[in-house]
Amino acid sequence: MLRGGLVVNPETRHESVADVLVHDGKVKAVAENLTPGHDTTVLDVTGLIVGPGFIDVHSHVNSVAGQRLQAMDGVTTALELESGLMPIERAYADAAQAGRPLHYGFSASWAAARGAVLADFEPDADLVGLLALLGNRAWQGPSTPAQVRSWLGLLERELDAGALGIGILLGYAPRNDPAEFLAVAQLAATAGVPTFTHVRELVEALEVLAGPKLAKAMAFLGQAAGRQVRTNNHVERLNRRLRFAEKVRYRWRKRKWVVRWVVLLLDVAWQQAAATTGAGKGAKQLGERSPPQANARGKKKVA
């Protein structure tokens, strides 16, 4: 019995602190305050999460040591699907012989099959060897129709031998013909298996960050100057807000100025009106105080 853990099951949307009773490798009961039998082993898992084993569908961990670390994260199945391994029988045989602590599975490797046809690559069911192929320009280029047929044939054989689907490292072969992708997709559809694709966006990134540019960008990001730019970006946003507030304040000040002139003009007009009914001498003096320019400008702005 696993006692007092936070039981999480996405399938049933269950999430609460509960006890889990396991018998013969199967979950028998999940409930609060279960009563253990006299021969039940009770493990206190307070503060830990109790859940189904996680299936890592994007794993490149192919060592026992690495998989033990994955197990500590709750992974019980690690699948090498994006890159795949070739030949598939050897990938499975090696995994079985190594005594892996997790369930495993592999896809047919589009990269390895293409490499075998285009770049004399000798697949050895090892990801390290496959990674070395990625920078090979012969592998990155387009295939002739005969070459396409050739590596499609290899992939088909891999599927027959137990591959879970086709892993397509499309983004790592920037100069391959897009029509090739359709050919692989067609093969997968016919075989009724999924494809796992590292998409093409990386192509653009590789162009932009080619060679010296990448080194420059990395050096820049590591510098204090790089951090300063990011800070400035933040300050810039603040500046924009302040500038906006300043603009609003300025507009209001201008309006206040206009209002003041309008009030003054009205005052002058009222005094003139008062003067015409009173002494003619006083009206002339008040008339000199009126601002005719501001009058015209002020009215325009209020309108």
Binding footprint of Zn ion on the chain (CB under 5 A): 82
**Minimum CB distance to Zn ion smaller for 99 or for 135:** 135
**Minimum CB distance to Zn ion smaller for 59 or for 176:** 59
CB of 43 to Zn ion, least distance (A): 35
Contact 22, 37 (CB under 8 A): no
Distance between CA atoms of residues 243 and 241, nearest Å: 5
CB of 158 to Zn ion, least distance (A): 19
CB of 202 to Zn ion, least distance (A): 11
**Minimum CB distance to Zn ion smaller for 82 or for 158:** 82
Contact 99, 64 (CB under 8 A): yes
**Residue 261: C-alpha distances to residues 231, 258, 266, 294, 297 (Å):** 45, 5, 8, 7, 10
**Minimum CB distance to Zn ion smaller for 201 or for 246:** 201
**Minimum CB distance to Zn ion smaller for 57 or for 283:** 57
Q: Which two tokens stand for residue 193?
A: 């298996």
Tokens 């853990």 locate to: 5
CB of 204 to Zn ion, least distance (A): 18
Closest residue to Zn ion in the complex (CB) = 82
**256-291 in b/e burial notation, b at 16+ Cβ within 10 A?**
eebeebbebbeebeebbeebeeeeeeebeebeeeee
CB of 169 to Zn ion, least distance (A): 8
CB of 60 to Zn ion, least distance (A): 6
**Minimum CB distance to Zn ion smaller for 5 or for 167:** 167
Rounded to 5 degrees, φ, ψ at 29 are -155, 145
